Amino acid sequence: MNRFLWPLIAFALLMVVMVVGLNNADRKGIIRSPLIGQPAPVFDAPDLLDPSARVTSAQLLGGWHLVNVWGTWCVECRAEHATLLAISREGKMPVIGLDWKDSDEDAKVWLQQLGNPYQHVGADRDGRIAIDWGVYGAPESFLVDPSGTVRQKRTGAMSEELWSRCFLPYLSEPQPKIPADCT
Amino acid sequence: MWIELGHFALVLALFVAAGQAFFGLVGAAKQRLDWLPLVRASVLVQTLLTLFAGATLINAFVRNDFSVGYVADHSNSMLPMFYRVAALWGAHEGSLLLWITILALWTVAVRARMHRLPPLFAARVLGVLGLISVGFLLFTLTTSNPFLRLLPPAVDGADLNPLLQDFALAVHPPILYTGYVGFSVTFAFACAALLEGRRDHVWARWMRPWTVMSWAFLSCGIALGSWWAYYELGWGGYWFWDPVENASFMPWLTGTALIHSLAVTDKRGLFKSWTLLLAIGAFSLSLIGTFLVRSGVLVSVHSFAADPARGIFILAFLVVLIGGALALYAWRAPLLQSEAGFALLSRESFLLFNNILLVVATLVVLGGTLAPLIAETLRLGTLSVGPPYFGPAFMVPMLPALVLLGVGFHASWKRGGLQVTSRMLGVVAGVAVLLSVAILLAGYGSRKPLAYVGSALALWIIGSSLIQPIQSLRRGLRMPASVVGMTVAHIGVGLFVLGATLVESASIERDVAMKTGVSVELGGYTYRYTGGEAIEGPNYDGFRAHVTVSRGTRTVAVLAPEKRRYWVTNSVMTEAGIGAAWNRDLFVALGEDVGDGAWSLRLQYRPLIRFIWLGALIMALGGIITLRDERYRRGAQA
């Protein structure tokens, strides 16, 4: 055999490995939150709008909740705000806000001006709660089921399309088939 | 509007590049000398269009046009001007545009010097380069277009990754890419030689300056990237064997082998088919590296946005370009038989060993990088390969290479034998061993055997490479630029090895919690934490600590490590405080506020770490010096 063919053969084998790798790539690109399937992290935060009340993880029990981490300093949060208002109006579940590393005054002005989609907003002033939730950039949204277990997570702005494709299926079936690109 | 014009210019550039490939390759096949002006014109037009497209995108960044999606994703109105320009290549789409622009500039450089080449050979070279351009332009326009509008426009941008807001990082991609992409010229020369079915080896001389130039840029780019990782990632390492680093290191190793085998092919007409294979290999590894980094196939700390669609495109492109080149090689390389022989102890033999060992080193890196993928293919589960494999495995081929390097210098071409007495080499080796023992015992008290081996090898290489220049100076002989450059480059290798050895074997580090006024001893230096303050920058706030380092009663450095929080992305970055001197770095990184006014600090003492980057730059400088050699300055004729 022509020994000058060997490089081509080696290259062909390499390509096989690459094709297999590429087939599996979509499973690796997704950062699955280690929280999914785990109980929601415990927290106890002052209520942003009611100085006498607290917002706690105990309130997540007994019904579906969407926990949304946001801040007035976050541009993407402004972009997703309309979607959150729509989700709140839709009434399938309450939205609980976690106002992350923010000034209370800015946050109140923001909710007055843009509307308030949240049932309660906890003020996570020093960001300790967000650390427990593994947040690495706002906005992030977590779907929590009636037993208090985190079922789904979105890093980045929520959209109506994502909401209906990646989150709502959980309400109707126990183990829904979720498209691979839901993150 | 400008951005649409830029987008349009890039589409036009695609068609012009296709014309360049067609007129160059088909024209040469049909022996149409009259098509040559068309090839020349399309090169120029394609370059101008690409430069214009790049300029419109820079303009969008500078003017904070957040209606452009790419700008909105990677810039911010608070970002300083310098980084707004550099943000162009801060992510996948823009860095592809940078790649295309640099390819266009290399092509124009080939065009400017093509009068030294036979016209049809030049047409083939430019044709192959046109083909590569077509691939990258198609890739950019179909899967990674930075010119798309965002509707409605963003209020403000999402900001450039704070890790990238740094001088060395802002400048290293253009330099690195100049090296990477330069290998496409070498590749094009190899393909042109194969397409012509040449039996001679004149192409080796034509190829040499381009190869050395690309290699020098690649060396500088890798050194800058490593330096950046050292001071910016905050934990004081300079090389992590990360897939992205390996992606640049593999072409470098192959390119180094290529430079040496080109010397043999040029001078003696040997190793012709091997040299062509290396030329194809160096560029192929650049492309494969691109694929690995940008397709999401491997997970890397440098991760670019992963997208399988992009992966499929690059894979197809690899199959066409590299598969095509290797098929061409399998068809034409049998023509390239060499008759000449050489003796066992000749320069040719040593360069052959050099090549074998460098290729083995490349395979070690390639194997480690691909191991997780191969394990996946064979369903062996997930596998992670890191420094514990790469470090020792890489040394297996490199240690003998370094030993042979010191002898190889002095071997004669063809008939063999050494140009210096073996007694002389023995003296150099003996001095190197004694000196390294003395330095290590007196200066560092290191007991690791590898420290002695490494530093003795480094001194052996430096000493051995100085023999010939010293003899020439004594006899008043003038050395050709190629010999000067070679000597300088190998001294660079020695300095690099010395630096890497000492950093690996004699570094000291410690994590401590310190309050104001507290002192800690480390490696003969006293670190005293004198307090800190809140800081505010253009787009971040944070905390700066002050650490005074003294030796005896003398203050040697006042360091100010910082911890910054970038507002827009809300991400926290550390800026290390580094007290640099030629012979050591004192490195302090700020950890966490542990409460009660105390901070955790990582203190490090790193001996001779500057030699690592200095060595790489001196290697590159050596390469540049060889380009001054008269051989390349004369016009070459077939």
pLDDT tens across B465-491, in order? 999 899 888 998 888 899 999 999 999
pLDDT surpassing 90 at residue B626: yes
Q: Indicate the DSSP class of residue B549.
A: E
State the Cα torsion A83-A85-A91-A92 to the nearest 10°.
Answer: 30
Segments making up each domain of chain A, as ranges? 34-172
Residue B553 neighbours by CB distance under 10 Å = 6
pLDDT above 70 as % of chain B:
94
For residues B454 and B399, is the Cβ–Cβ distance under 8 A?
A: no
If one compares B477 and B327, the residue with the highest pLDDT of the two is B327
At residue A30, the pLDDT reads 44
At residue B298, the pLDDT reads 62
- Which phi and psi (to 5°) does residue A155 adopt? -100, 125
Residue B570's region, left for phi above 0, alpha for psi from -120 to 50, else beta, is left
Closest CA to A145 of A109, A174, A182: A174
Residue B532's region, left for phi above 0, alpha for psi from -120 to 50, else beta, is beta
Asked if A11's CB is within 8 angstroms of B570's CB, the reply is no
Tell me the average pLDDT across B623-633: 86
Structure confidence at residue B235 as a pLDDT band (50, 70, 90): low
A58 Cα to chain B: minimum distance (Å): 28
In this structure, are strands A118-124 and A95-100 parallel, antiparallel, or unpaired? parallel
Tell me the average pLDDT across B343-368: 93
If one compares B248 and B420, the residue with the highest pLDDT of the two is B248
User: Which residues of chain B neighbour A136 with C-beta distances below 8 Å?
Assistant: 571
Closest CA to B351 of B185, B486, B507: B486
User: Which residues of chain A neighbour B568 with C-beta distances below 8 Å?
Assistant: 73, 75
At residue B599, the pLDDT reads 87
The token duo for B349 is 């033999």
At residue A24, the pLDDT reads 67
Picking from A22, A73, A79, the nearest residue to B297 by CB comes out as A22
A8 Cα to chain B: minimum distance (Å): 5
For the ranges A30-44, B127-141, B594-608, the lowest mean pLDDT is seen at A30-44
Interface test with B, best of A5, A22, A102, A110 (most B CBs within 10 A): A22
For the ranges A137-146, B149-158, B184-193, the lowest mean pLDDT is seen at B149-158
The angle at the Cα of B424, spanning B422 to B430, to the nearest 5 degrees, equals 100
As to burial, measured by CB atoms within 10 angstroms (0-12 exposed, 13-18 middle, 19+ buried), residue A95 is buried
Tell me the average pLDDT across B540-554: 90
pLDDT surpassing 80 at residue B291: no
Tell me the average pLDDT across B495-506: 92
User: ipTM of this predicted complex?
Assistant: 0.86
- Cα–Cα distance, A73 to A84 (Å, whole number): 17
For residues A87 and A58, is the Cβ–Cβ distance under 8 A?
A: no
Asked if A74's CB is within 8 angstroms of B376's CB, the reply is no
Helix (H/G/I), strand (E/B), else coil: A43: coil
- Cα–Cα distance, B125 to B117 (Å, whole number): 10
The amino acid that residue B500 corresponds to is A
At residue B638, the pLDDT reads 37
| Stretches in chain A below the pLDDT threshold 50 | 28-31
Asked if B333's CB is within 8 angstroms of A4's CB, the reply is yes
Structure confidence at residue B398 as a pLDDT band (50, 70, 90): very high
Place of tokens 């001996």: B607
Tell me the average pLDDT across B49-60: 96
Helix (H/G/I), strand (E/B), else coil: B381: coil
For the ranges B151-160, B224-233, B367-376, B479-488, the lowest mean pLDDT is seen at B151-160
| pTM for the full predicted model | 0.81
pLDDT surpassing 70 at residue B304: no
Residue pLDDT, tens place only, B306-324: 566 777 888 899 999 999 9
- Give B217's contacts (C-beta < 8 A, 6+ positions apart): B175, B176, B178, B179, B182, B620
For the ranges A171-180, B21-30, B56-65, B358-367, the lowest mean pLDDT is seen at A171-180
User: Which residues of chain A neighbour B155 with C-beta distances below 8 Å?
Assistant: 75, 78
At residue B374, the pLDDT reads 83
End-to-end alpha carbon distance in chain A? 50
Rounded to the nearest 10 degrees, the angle between the axes of helix B387-408 and helix B481-506 is 140
Q: In what order do the strands lie in the sheet with A150-155?
A: A118-124, A95-100, A65-70, A140-144, A150-155
Interface test with A, best of B77, B303, B373 (most A CBs within 10 A): B373
- β-partners of residue B585 are B580, B606
pLDDT surpassing 70 at residue B585: yes
Closest CA to B51 of B5, B111, B119, B110: B5
Query: Mean pLDDT over all residues of chain B?
Result: 88
- Give B440's contacts (C-beta < 8 A, 6+ positions apart): B446, B451, B452, B455, B506
B251 Cα to chain A: minimum distance (Å): 16
Structure confidence at residue B301 as a pLDDT band (50, 70, 90): very low
Asked if B330's CB is within 8 angstroms of A137's CB, the reply is no
At residue B369, the pLDDT reads 87
Residue pLDDT, tens place only, B439-462: 888 888 777 888 999 999 999 999
For residues B133 and B100, is the Cβ–Cβ distance under 8 A?
A: yes
Structure confidence at residue B636 as a pLDDT band (50, 70, 90): very low
Residue A42 neighbours by CB distance under 10 Å = 12
A115 Cα to chain B: minimum distance (Å): 19
- Give B50's contacts (C-beta < 8 A, 6+ positions apart): B9, B10, B13, B100, B101, B104
pLDDT above 90 as % of chain B:
52
Rounded to the nearest 10 degrees, the angle between the axes of helix B2-29 and helix B167-196 is 20
Structure confidence at residue B419 as a pLDDT band (50, 70, 90): confident
The token duo for B36 is 């040559």
Segments making up each domain of chain B, as ranges? 1-161, 510-611
Closest CA to B499 of B354, B608, B347, B387: B608
At residue A29, the pLDDT reads 41
Q: Would you tell me which CATH number, out of the four given (3.30.43, 1.10.1660, 1.20.120, 2.60.40), belongs to the domain B1-161?
A: 1.20.120
B81 Cα to chain A: minimum distance (Å): 21
The angle at the Cα of A167, spanning A161 to A173, to the nearest 5 degrees, equals 125
Q: Which CATH superfamily is domain A34-172 in?
A: Glutaredoxin (3.40.30.10)
For the ranges B180-184, B251-255, B382-386, B597-601, the lowest mean pLDDT is seen at B382-386
At residue B59, the pLDDT reads 94
At residue B307, the pLDDT reads 60
